[in-house]
A and B are shown apart, each in its own frame.
Chain A
Amino acid sequence: MAEKERLTLILFSGDLDKALAAFNLAIGAASSGMEVSMFFTFWGLNIIKRNEGNIRSKGIMRRMLNLMNRGGSKRAHLSKFHMMGLGTWMMKRLMKDINFPQLDELMAMAKEMGVKFIACTTSMGIMGIGKEAFIPGVDSFAGVATYLAEAREGKINLFI
């Protein structure tokens, strides 16, 4: 085939359900021979934060923010029916019931298929988090110009 078509996807949300939808699309597109770039910005950064250890940041406000907003794919909540964890726990059970992969498994699968992960440096600056806060799968740390350059070439561009 000719030059590969491209899907770009901005994950703005840190919600579990929205992240699942985003990774489903990314995996589907990569399976269909598309090049896929995912940009994680604002709350979406939570999805690519590592699950282990502490997230360090400077200053009382940023430390508080990162305490309350720890992030990590395993800590993501449903956007509704979280019910202090019960709803999210149930949804994960239901997914397991039908052998549907959990979010971190989908992320590993996307990575294996060559999906690019890009973290937004402006959000990182505002929230006071460094590169060490993220999973090793993040390919680059960049901003809006990088996104636009890719989106201009994109056949499909989504904001979730």
Chain B
Amino acid sequence: MKADATLDCIGLYCPMPIAHTAKKLKDLEVGQVLEILADDEGIKEDMPAWCRTTGNELLGIEEESGQYKVYVKKSHN
């Protein structure tokens, strides 16, 4: 999937990936896509939940050998 920016959260545990995602998304424009790299399994549940609460769009989660690529589209300012 194509992304406008990438955020490396490898090695970080909850709540750091969502804290960094929230911060990083502020630098993006509405409609742009952020790719988050993570290896804490909790991200699979946490990022969808975070997107639901904040009203951003989860485009997908790709899993490969214990690592996750999560795609979030910024939906509002």
Contact = CB atoms under 8 A, between A and B. Distances in A.
A31 B22 contact: yes
A98 to B, nearest CB: 6
B76 A98 contact: no
B18 A99 contact: no
Given A1-B76, A32-B22, A27 B15 contact: yes
B61 to A, nearest CB: 18
A127 to B, nearest CB: 31
- Interface bracket on B: 10 to 19
A28 B19 contact: yes
A98 B23 CA distance: 21
Contacts, number: 38
Interface string B42-67: 00000000100111000000000000
A51 interface: no
A30 B54 CA distance: 11
Interface string B11-26: 1111110110111000
B12 A99 contact: yes
Nearest to A99: B11
Contact of B18 (A1, A28, A98): A28
- Interface bracket on A: 10 to 19
Contact of A32 (B13, B54, B76): B54
Interface string A78-105: 0000000000000000000011110000
A33 B77 CA distance: 11
Contacts of A25: 15
Which one of B14, B18, B53, B76 has the greatest number of beta carbons of chain A within 10 Å? B53
Given A1-B55, A1-B76, A31 B14 contact: no
A30 B20 CA distance: 11
Contacts of B54: 32-33
A88 B26 CA distance: 36
A32 B76 CA distance: 13
Interface of B: 11-16, 18-19, 21-23, 50, 53-55, 76
Interface of A: 1, 24-25, 27-28, 30-33, 98-101, 109, 113
